[in-house]
Structure 1
Amino acid sequence: MKVHAFLATLLLASPLLARPWTEAASGRKIEAEYVSADAQSVTLSVKGGKTFKIELARLSAEDKAFVRQKLSAVRATPAAKATRIEDRFEDIQIKAAGDISVSGEAHPALGSVDDAVRAFMAEKGIGAVTFALSKDGKLLHDRAFGWADADLKTPLQPGVKMRVASMTKPVVMAAIKTLFDAGKLKPEDIAFKVLDLGQYKESKGCDERWQKVTVQHLLDHKGGWDRDVSGDFTSDREIPEMFRVKTEDQTPEHVMRYGLTKRLDFDPGERYAYCNYGYILLVRIIEKVSGQKFMDYLHATVCKEAKTLSFSLSSTDARDRQSGETWYCYAPEYPRKTVPLPFRTEARDGAGILACTAADYCRFLESYSVIGNARRPGGRYRGAFSGSHPGVSAICSQREDGINYAIICNRREGSKSEWNEELRKAVDAALAKVAADMK
Structure 2
Amino acid sequence: MIKKDHIRTLLILSLIICSSFNNLFAQNLETKIDSAIKTVFNDPTGPGVVFMVAKKGKIIYQKAFGKANLELDANLHTDNVFELGSMTKQFTAVAVLMLEEQGKLNVNDPVSKYIPDYPSGDKITIHHLLTHTSGIKDFTKMKSLSDISQKDMTPKMMVDYFKNEPLDFAPGEKFEYDNSGYVLLGYIIELVSGETYEDFITGHIFKKVGMDQSLYASDRKVIRKRAYGYHKKSYGYVNKTVISFSVPFSSGSLMSTMGDMLKWQNALNHNVLLNGAETKKAFSKYQLNDGKEFTYGYGWHIKDINGTPTREHGGSIFGFKTMGVYIPEEDIYVLGLSNCDCNSPTKVTGDIAALTLKMFSK
Distance of aligned partners of 1:308 and 1:320 in 2 relative to their CA distance in 1, 3 Å threshold:
closer
Q: 2-side partners of 1:247 and 1:157: how far apart?
A: 29
Task: Give me the whole-angstrom Cα distance separating, in 1, the residues matched to 2:146 and 2:157.
Answer: 8
Equivalent position of 1:325 in the other structure:
226
Gaps of 5+ in 1: 1-106, 227-231
Q: State the Cα deviation string for residues 377-404 of structure 1 (Å, max 9, x = none).
A: xx99731111122222211111121111
User: Aligned ranges for residues 88-127 of structure 1 at < 5 Å?
Assistant: 108=27, 109-122=29-42, 127=47
Task: Please point out which of 409, 412, 417 is paired with 2:338.
Answer: 409
1:279 to 2:182 alignment? yes
Cross-structure match for 1:3: none
- Contact map agreement 1:395 1:406 (CA 8 A) in 2: yes
Q: Is the 8 A contact 2:240 2:319 kept in 1?
A: no
Map 1:250-399 to 2 at 5 A. 250-315=153-218, 317=219, 319-320=220-221, 322-330=223-231, 339-341=241-243, 344-368=244-268, 374=274, 382-399=310-327
Aligned-CA RMSD value:
3.2
AA aligned opposite 2:267: S
The residue that corresponds to 1:168 in the other structure is 88
1:139 is matched by which residue type in structure 2?
I
Taking a change above 3 Å as real, the CA distance of residues 124 and 286 of structure 1, as seen in their structure-2 partners, is farther
Determine if contact 2:209/2:264 at 8 Å carries over to the other structure.
yes
Query: Which residue does 1:21 correspond to in 2?
Result: none
CA distance in 1, matches of 2:153, 2:200: 22
Alpha-carbon offset, residue 240 of structure 1: 7.7
Q: Which has the higher contact order (CA 8 A, sep 6+)?
A: 2
2:85 touches 2:320 (CA, 8 Å); kept in 1? yes
How much does 1:305 deviate?
A: 4.4
Q: 1:166 to 1:374 in 2, by over 3 A?
A: same
Partner of 1:225: 136
Q: What amino acid sits opposite 1:146 in the alignment?
A: G
1:133 paired residue among 32, 49, 53:
53
The one-letter code matched in structure 2 to 1:326 is A
1:327 offset after TM fit, Å? 0.5
TM-superposed deviation, 1:275? 0.7
Give the Cα separation in 2 of the matches to 1:266 and 1:124: 46
Q: Which amino acid aligns with 1:325?
A: R
Give the 3 Å change call, closer, same or farther, for CA 124–386 of structure 1 in structure 2.
farther
Show the counterpart of 2:349: 424
Return 182-191 or 383-392, whichever deviates more.
383-392
* Offset, 1:128: 2.3
Cα distance, 1:304 vs. partner?
4.0
Structure 1 residue aligned with 2:11: none
Alpha-carbon spacing, 1:125–1:421, altered in 2? closer, same or farther (3 Å): farther
What CA distance in whole angstroms lies between the structure 1 residues aligned with 2:39 and 2:202?
36
TM-score normalised by the chain length of structure 1: 0.61
Cα displacement (A) at 1:321: 5.3
Provide closer, same or farther for how the CA distance between residues 433 and 335 of structure 1 changes in structure 2, counting only shifts above 3 A. Answer: same
How many residue pairs were aligned?
301
Secondary structure of residue in 2 paired with 1:327:
coil
Kept after mapping to 2: 8 A contact 1:359/1:406: no
Q: d(CA) in 2 for partners of 1:268 and 1:124?
A: 47
State the one-letter code of the partner of 1:401: E
Q: CA 1:430–1:167 in 2, change beyond 3 Å: closer, same or farther? A: same
How many angstroms apart in 1 are the aligned matches of 2:121 and 2:230? 38
Structure 1 348/113 Cα, relative in aligned 2: closer, same or farther at 3 Å?
Answer: same
CA distance in 2, matches of 1:412, 1:116: 19
Please tell me whether the aligned partners of residues 54 and 332 of structure 2 are also in contact (alpha carbons under 8 angstroms): yes
Does structure 2 conserve the Cα–Cα contact (< 8 Å) formed by 1:392 and 1:408? yes
The one-letter amino acid paired with 1:407 is: G
Show CA shifts across 1:281-302 (max 9, x none).
1111111111112222113323
How far is 1:124 from its partner?
11
Q: Distance in 1 between matches of 2:59 and 2:69?
A: 27
Distance in 1 between residues matched to 2:44 and 2:172, nearest whole Å: 39
Asked if the contact 1:234/1:255 (under 8 Å) is kept, the reply is: no
Counterpart-to-counterpart distance in 2, 1:364 and 1:436: 25
Kindly tell me: are residues 152 and 240 of structure 1, through their superposed partners in 2, closer, same or farther at Cα, counting changes over 3 Å? closer
Pick from 143, 151, 173: which aligns with 1:248? 151
Runs of 4+ in 1 over 6 A off after TM superposition: none
Flag the 1:298–1:153 CA change in 2: closer, same or farther, 3 A.
same
Residues of 1 paired with 2:149 and 2:75: CA distance?
37
Separation in structure 1 between the aligned mates of residue 208 and residue 98 of structure 2, nearest angstrom: 11
Q: Distance in 2 between matches of 1:110 and 1:306?
A: 29
Q: How far apart are residue 246 of structure 1 and its match?
A: 8.1
